[in-house]
Amino acid sequence: MLNNGILTMERHQRIFIKITELLQAKLGERIKIYKENGAEHLELTDSTFWLMIDKSEFTVGYGLNHVHFSESYNNLEDGIIQAFDLLTNKIKTTEYIKGNIVFKVTTEIEFSNSQLINIGTSILMFYPFWKKTKTKRITSEKIIEKKEIEDDVNFILNENRNQG
């Protein structure tokens, strides 16, 4: 598809394209791609999962929480793994609410062995701190079965290792 120009791209851009192609093949119309302000975004229509690339980084997100990956951070492989972990495991989101304001959101990946990995916590600076805190826990089911994409993910990981 984009193989003519793919070799001249940065490694994080090639990874984004490979992941995009895989997700479009597996999830079809649920994948939306758009460009804005020099960045390219991938969103899943019925989820808060998203990916983004700009000139130097690959960002993996779920709702407000996200992690930046790049060649300069030497963590692109971690970004590939996190993207697919978010797609192939349950996601637990905890919202902390004071009054009507969600002032803190924690997002965790729940692996099949019940291990939780926190991928981020977002906090508002200004909120009605004097009000009682309520919590709301949301569990999102996995988007795709791991065995359905495992070979493709390993191919992307191996290709990334070989280009490094």
| 16-69 tens-digit pLDDT | 999 999 999 999 999 999 999 999 999 999 999 999 999 999 999 999 999 999
**Average of pLDDT values for 58-87?**
96
Q: How confident is the model at residue 163 (pLDDT cuts 50, 70, 90)?
A: confident
- The average confidence (pLDDT) of the chain is 93
Which is more confidently placed, 7 or 159?
159
With CA atoms as reference, report the closest residue to 44 among 65, 62, 17.
62
Rounded Cα–Cα distance for residues 77 and 160 (Å): 7
Three-state SS for 127? coil
128 phi and psi, to 5 degrees? Answer: -75, 80
Q: What is the pTM of this model?
A: 0.90
Does residue 148 carry a pLDDT above 80? yes
86 burial via Cβ count (<10 Å: 0-12, 13-18, 19+):
buried
Residue 6 has pLDDT above 60, yes or no: no
Integer angstrom CA distances of residue 17 from 1, 95, 114, 115: 10, 32, 31, 30
Q: How far is the C-alpha of 69 from the C-alpha of 156, rounded, in Å? A: 16
Helix-helix angle 146-163:11-27, to 10 degrees = 160
Nearest CA to 135 out of 92, 102, 91 is that of 102
| In the chain, domain spans | 3-163
Strands, E assignment, 112-157: 116-123, 133-140
Question: How much is the pLDDT for 1?
Answer: 40
Question: pLDDT tens for residues 91-132?
Answer: 999 999 999 999 999 999 999 999 999 999 999 988 899 999
